[in-house]
Amino acid sequence: MIEVTQFVKAYGDKLAVEALSFDVQPGQVLGLLGPNGAGKTTTIRALCGIIPPTHGSLSIGGNDVATNPVAAKRLLAYVPDDPKLFDALTVWEHMQFIAAAYQVIDFQRDAEALLEQFELTSQRGKLAQELSRGMRQKVAICCAYLHQPKAILFDEPLTGLDPRGIRTMKDSVRQRAAGGAAVMVSSHLLALVQDLCTHLLILHHGRSLFFGRVEDARAAFAVVSGDASLEEVFFRATEGEPATANLT
């Protein structure tokens, strides 16, 4: 559903991402890990068509993002780390707008269910500018889910959410993946990635250090025997210690 092949992004002489290839199948949740400046957000924004690749290809559901952007974006949802809502629209008007943009017919029942799931029903008449940071994040997630996307990209999705909001968000990701969506989650919160993700992509200086199943990452970066913790995996990968097996 999500496929990246030899993706390169350069800004002048600086390579932000170098020859990156990976895929996310329906039902999988890929955790995107890496230090600041590793190329995580660049990769996500390129998949969304926000920035063009210098070389390589990125596709959603077999539709190239660069050459067939409308078809790709119909299947896609993106929730950035600081979602920009329309301050002059209410919560419900955001749902109406998204339904119109994606040509979702009879959206009301699904929209109501999403607002209830994220505890926004009582806020439906409020303007976006009146909402807290966490509520704005919830509205963005509801809008992202409304057109039933087949590929969902999150960049630091827990920003501003309270504990109940975090649980709801994680449950919603599991539900979407179980329904056949391919999900990518970029986060510095290793506990979130460990809790949600089936696969890992670890980036450093724009290059892939590991791509594969979470359990394979733990085995590959185990110090002596048994499984490594996700924290051990991250630091051993990004601080230059080789894996015990070539699983990339």
Taking only the tens place, the pLDDT of each residue in 166-177 is: 999 999 999 999
pLDDT digit string (tens) for 190-235? 989 989 999 999 999 999 999 999 988 888 777 544 567 788 888 8
Higher-scoring residue by pLDDT: 33, 247: 33
Give me the sign of the Cα torsion angle 133, 154, 192, 109: positive
Residue 100 near residue 146 (C-beta atoms within 8 A):
no
Per-residue pLDDT, 159: 85
Tokens of 226: 């048994």
Domains of the chain: 1-75+149-248 (3.40.50.300), 84-148 (no CATH)
Sign of the alpha-carbon torsion through 170, 174, 175, 181: positive
Nearest to 8 by CA among 76, 57, 65, 60: 57
Q: Give the integer Cα–Cα distance in Å for 188 and 56.
A: 27
CB atoms within 10 A of CB 64: 15
pLDDT at residue number 246: 40
